[in-house]
């Protein structure tokens, strides 16, 4: 890996983190294209630079994360199932799933079909929960359960939480913003645990590459968040489902 590769992967991460297209899946596929391999540092890099994108949420939603204690409690409840499942499956995820383009492609493809079918069948209720004060702890917990499905690369944390929230009776903008906020403790814990396990083995140059990717993903993610909030005002997620399927088809046919 070099600085240019770090920047390119940071752009991919920042662009895809909050869209229902799987940032981890995109990083794995982009890594294959760029020839960076799938060693321990690359796997840790893919995890850690996601925290850069998550930092953009802290900048934009700091009041919810630092002052609104009711929202903080609901985020804590949502994080619990993801944290437990992620901790239990950490070794298996890094050993067998991260770095596997086959897992990513199948997850992207099946997820794309599911998103399209779901959007065709889903009808938002007029009584759907539309703000953080109306969000229940039960809804918060089950959103966390849905998020846990995204430990499989290619599923998309964003897609899992958003679809889960819509099923649970949340308005589209509310679940999108709750998904943003839930990413903060989720990726903070994942990055901290991974660096604790593997950080000491990284060289100084590798840590520099990680920092470059981190900063790049943060900058790009700011624009990505604003794009998604504007997009959902007049669109469903069908286009993202189509994108996932087309991406898989291009990869299989051309690459």
Question: What would the mean pLDDT of 58-76 be, rounded to a whole number?
Answer: 88
- The residue range of the domain holding 20 is 3-254
Helices (H), the chain: 3-16, 23-34, 40-60, 62-66, 69-92, 101-121, 137-148, 157-167, 172-198, 204-231, 238-254
C-alpha 88, offset from chain centre: 19
Query: Residue 59 belongs to what H/E stretch?
Result: helix 40-60
Q: Tally Cβ neighbours within 10 Å of residue 123.
A: 5
Confidence band, pLDDT 50/70/90 cuts, at residue 64: confident
Look at residues 115, 175, 173 and name the one whose alpha carbon lies nearest to residue 140.
175
Q: What is the pTM of this model?
A: 0.85
pLDDT at position 73 is 93
Q: Is the per-residue pLDDT at 67 higher than 70? A: yes
User: Taking a C-beta distance cutoff of 8 angstroms, is the pair 171, 177 a contact?
Assistant: no
Q: Is the per-residue pLDDT at 114 higher than 90? A: yes
- What would the pLDDT profile of 183-192 be if each residue is shown by its tens digit? 888 888 877 7
Confidence band, pLDDT 50/70/90 cuts, at residue 99: low
Return the residue matching tokens 């940071």: 10
pLDDT at position 200 is 65
61 vs 103: CA distance, rounded Å: 33
| Listed range (85-94, 131-140, 244-253) with the worst mean pLDDT | 85-94
183 vs 188: CA distance, rounded Å: 8
Return the residue matching tokens 């294959």: 32
| Listed range (91-95, 163-167, 171-175, 237-241) with the worst mean pLDDT | 91-95
User: What tokens were used for 208?
Assistant: 């520099």
Q: What is the DSSP letter of 201?
A: G
- What would the pLDDT profile of 28-51 be if each residue is shown by its tens digit? 888 888 888 767 777 778 777 888
| Mean pLDDT of the residues in the chain | 88
Structural domain count of the chain: 1
């Amino acid at each position: 890996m070099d600085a240019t590769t770090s920047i390119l992967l940071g752009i991919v991460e920042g662009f895809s983190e909050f869209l229902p297209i799987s940032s981890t899946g995109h990083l794995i596929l982009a890594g294959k294209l760029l020839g960076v391999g799938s060693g321990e540092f690359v796997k840790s890099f893919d995890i850690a630079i996601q925290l850069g994108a998550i930092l953009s949420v802290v900048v934009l939603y700091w009041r919810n994360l630092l002052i609104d204690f009711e929202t903080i409690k609901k985020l804590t409840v949502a994080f619990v199932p993801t944290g437990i499942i992620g901790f239990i499956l950490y070794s298996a995820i890094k050993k067998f799933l991260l770095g596997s383009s086959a897992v990513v492609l199948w997850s992207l493809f099946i997820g794309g079909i599911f998103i399209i079918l779901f959007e065709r069948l889903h009808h938002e209720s007029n009584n759907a929960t539309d703000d953080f004060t109306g969000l229940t702890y039960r809804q918060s917990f089950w959103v966390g359960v849905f998020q846990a499905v995204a430990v499989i690369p290619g599923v998309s944390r964003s897609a899992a939480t958003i679809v889960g929230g819509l099923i649970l009776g949340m308005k589209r903008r509310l679940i999108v913003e709750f998904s943003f906020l839930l990413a903060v403790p989720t990726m903070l814990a994942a990055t901290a645990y991974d660096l604790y396990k593997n950080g000491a083995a990284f060289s100084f140059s590798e840590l520099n590459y990680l920092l470059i990717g981190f900063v790049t993903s943060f900058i790009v993610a700011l624009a990505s968040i604003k794009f998604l909030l504007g997009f959902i005002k007049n669109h469903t997620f069908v286009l993202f489902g189509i994108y996932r399927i087309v991406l898989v088809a291009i990869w299989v046919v051309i690459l």
